[in-house]
Amino acid sequence: MFYGGAAAFLAGWLALGTWPQVAEARLRPLPSTQRQERIFLEKEITQRQEKFVLEKEVGTEFLDKAVPSRRVELRQLWRTVRQHRDGPEAPSALHRIGLINLEQHRLQAAFRRFQRILDNYPSYPRYGEVLELEFSVAERLMRGERGRIFGTLPGLRDRHGAIALFRKIVEQAPYDELSPMALMNIAKLSIEVKDPATAIGALETILDSYGHTAVAADALLLLAEVHRNRVIGPDYDQRAMREAGNAYQEFLLLYPNSPRVDEAELGLAMVKELQAKSLLRMGNFYYDDRNRPEAARPYYAQAIAAAPQSKTAAQARARLVDAAAGKPGWGTPLDWLIGPHRP
């Protein structure tokens, strides 16, 4: 028993004596080989986390805790786009990049990311959603929202840029339901930037290619207003007046139950009044300036037919009575000096 107790005491004493050395050995840095293996394992775990993030469903509310910052996330996403150009990861990464650009108010940059998806990955399962995102970006520019340069500096309002984005949407998906709406927005923006020719082209495209859609009625009425606004006065641009009148009449014929019928009737009355004034002035020119009442009568008759209930029509009737009675016209100051003009 004595030897057994001594052996136990000696073992305990040795253990106590070597414990600080064991603890010190645990605190020592790992050898270079083991340290490299640990770094390699950490990188592999990080890469697996990134891959898991990219395979997750992309959404505006998505924020992965494994990504420490937007800058790092964008770097990882762009690396995925470069490394997997032909794989399903690339469009998902571009989708996410575009959403981040939207959060940063970099509207043009976000549109470019979405457009890249539509151009290069037509089989992307969320193709329709990406197209709607493009439309929302163009609408934000249309409302006057200012994009950010480099994510910080505010840019200028860019209605011309919004027109270009809407055009790309129409070119990308001409048979999508968003296309007539995009054309309608192009027309409205073109009116704002004083470009009636572009507005007329967009509206005519709606009527020709999307006449069955809900925006066709509004497009027809807006087309009539654009033509009417191009008329400076009764002495100018008879073609614009005719185009406006035809568009108003077509609207009333095709959409008699529309809530905007009163608006169309008022516009048509204004156009007819302008036409009547133009015809009256032509009649007065032949009657008063050229002393040719027989040439003036057709114009007076047309003025009465254009707007029968207007004051212009009443004046045309009075001039017809004068012409029928053989009453001479007013003449010009030169006629007053040297006598009436002889046809």
Over the stretch 229-255, which tens digit does the pLDDT of each residue have? 887 665 555 788 889 999 999 999 999
Q: How far apart are the first and last CA of the chain?
A: 156
Q: What is the pTM of this model?
A: 0.71
As a whole number, mean pLDDT of residues 167-183 equals 94
Q: What are the tokens at 85?
A: 């150009």
> Cα torsion at 180, 186, 192, 197 (round to 10°)?
-100
Predicted confidence at residue 67, as pLDDT, reads 44
What does the DSSP 8-state code read for residue 286? I
Q: Which range, 33-37, 52-56, 190-194, 277-281, has the best average confidence (pLDDT)? A: 190-194
CA atoms lying within 13 Å on the CB side of residue 215: 23
- Computed over its alpha carbons, how large is the radius of gyration of the chain? 40
Predicted confidence at residue 18, as pLDDT, reads 47
207 contacts 219 by C-beta, under 8 angstroms: yes
Rounded Cα distance, 262 and 260, in Å? 5
Mean pLDDT of the chain: 80
